[in-house]
Structure 1
């Protein structure tokens, strides 16, 4: 895998070989990435407010209503939970935009950007649809203040989202600093979070995405997404990056794997 964000499965290993380590900047690829990710939150907002998510659910035979999507204290015509989700979509898009413009140092062509955009948009569309279905199925009225209208799932989701963003950002920025130091040329970053797991950036990504899905209010969707994302990492992303690292660093990579056996979750996976 050529980046720090999950790639669509068919592209992961090919782009790893072709683009990782290429110092040239793709203006078209970076621009596509930023604009595509920033377009996601307005799209999800429209799915809430224009009833597109409701229409999609009804089309497949599921009960859905926009009544609770817009009811209760929120922002810009949204209820509390859709407001939280739309805010999370926007923050994650801004985080990705910052990463591609200021942290990333890999060549990033337009087709790779489109793959990342499509993946994140698909996941967030899933979350939006799940949230509408969960709200429609909720037996509880939306009363009181904004904080009165969200429960433990939303608070936990927010905590996971914030933690994931922090972990991912620290991992990426610390590695960037490590690589910029001339003394570390040709070395694998085994400091900080990288001394605990081999892919702390993936851990951060997993946490904040799980946080978004949990905020929808559906435990089933949260479990399903968690399993899907972990499977994606272990079947596609990690094998691709391991192949690249083994080729580039040889015995140093093997020694690193021995010293840091956990790939994503410390002591577990």
Structure 2
């Protein structure tokens, strides 16, 4: 939400501590943001190395685990895509890794005004690499893979991809809408309650939860998708939303209370 400087965060230091974002602080951090951008930009290459070349699978084999065969490479007529040598299913999973990186780099370079220290950028990069790699290895392992048939596409891929597209589009569009509102000086100190935000007060967090769950479903099936979705839902519901709510209550007062009355859902419209 809109603010200027650290003094604009009215919370106590104890309340600020569990928040991962320095709200109200717009100190430029070009080194941190550049680090974030580079790490997120190269992470899809890690997923490609796993999907195309089996990076790390030799260790899995030594543990007695089996992995899927490569499958027939896709032939789309687009040399850049066909040159990757990936099956259609693997291409979709790689596309999810690329889409997440692009979305987050748009966010850090054009939508987020808060500082991004180098340490935080490294932590976020490692977090994404870990979660995306878990998805990729879950797909490769025969015991956990969502790909249980030779047909393409498969139900888990269709459902997972749909959740992914809806979630990541919701998150991105919501953040663009809010950024445009905040960029207008006439809206200084106002709560943004329009666009997608009229359906849930933290619709961007809801979108993130959906695409993370969809990515996991497409990779490791419905059980993994449920676990991943529940993990992020729980984190947002018990940590991120309450601490942001406290900030907004103290920053916006009655305007925030009215927004809560008009928009009762926190993350996902008509659900929570």
TM-score range, shorter chain: 0.7 to 0.9
Encode CA deviations 1:41-75: one digit per residue, 9 max, x unaligned. 1111112233234345446x5632252xx212334
Helix, strand or coil at the partner of 2:141: helix
| Aligned counterpart in structure 2 of residue 87 of structure 1, from 92, 95, 98 | 95
The offset of 1:246, in angstroms, is 2.1
Query: Are 1:224 and 2:227 matched, yes or no?
Result: yes
Query: Are 1:215 and 2:218 matched, yes or no?
Result: yes
- The match for 2:192 is 189
| Aligned counterpart in structure 2 of residue 265 of structure 1, from 264, 268, 272 | 268
Query: Are 1:71 and 2:79 matched, yes or no?
Result: no
Does the 8 Å contact 1:20/1:107 carry over to 2? no
Encode CA deviations 1:5-41: one digit per residue, 9 max, x unaligned. xxxxxxx943748722222221111111111111211
The offset of 1:174, in angstroms, is 0.7
The offset of 1:263, in angstroms, is 0.5
Against the structure 1 CA distance between its residues 268 and 62, is the aligned structure 2 distance closer, same or farther, given a 3 Å change threshold? farther
Q: What is the distance in 2 between the residues matched to 1:95 and 1:89?
A: 10
Q: What is the distance in 1 between the residues matched to 2:238 and 2:217?
A: 24
The offset of 1:163, in angstroms, is 1.3
- Within 5 Å, give how 1:232-243 maps onto structure 2: 232-243=235-246
- Within 5 Å, give how 1:112-151 maps onto structure 2: 112-134=120-142, 140=149, 142=150, 148-151=151-154
Q: What is the distance in 2 between the residues matched to 1:136 and 1:230?
A: 23
Could you list the structure 1 runs, at least 4 aligned residues long, displaced by more than 3 angstroms after superposition: 15-18, 55-59, 134-140
Does the 8 Å contact 2:217/2:223 carry over to 1? no
Encode CA deviations 1:86-117: one digit per residue, 9 max, x unaligned. 11101110111111111111122112222222
Does the 8 Å contact 1:213/1:222 carry over to 2? yes
Q: What is the distance in 1 between the residues matched to 2:59 and 2:260?
A: 45
- The match for 2:5 is none
Q: What is the distance in 2 between the residues matched to 1:62 and 1:242?
A: 48
The offset of 1:251, in angstroms, is 2.9
What is the TM-score when the length of structure 1 is the normalising length? 0.83
Structure 2 runs not aligned, ≥5 long? 2-14, 75-81
**Aligned Cα root-mean-square deviation (Å):** 2.5
Does the 8 Å contact 1:81/1:215 carry over to 2? no
Q: What is the distance in 1 between the residues matched to 2:213 and 2:20?
A: 29
Structure 1 runs not aligned, ≥5 long? 2-11, 143-147
Against the structure 1 CA distance between its residues 222 and 18, is the aligned structure 2 distance closer, same or farther, given a 3 Å change threshold? closer
Does the 8 Å contact 2:68/2:142 carry over to 1? no
What is the TM-score when the length of structure 2 is the normalising length? 0.83
Deviates more, 1:18-27 or 1:225-234: 18-27
| Structure (1/2) with the larger helix percentage | 1
Query: Are 1:34 and 2:21 matched, yes or no?
Result: no
- The match for 1:253 is 256
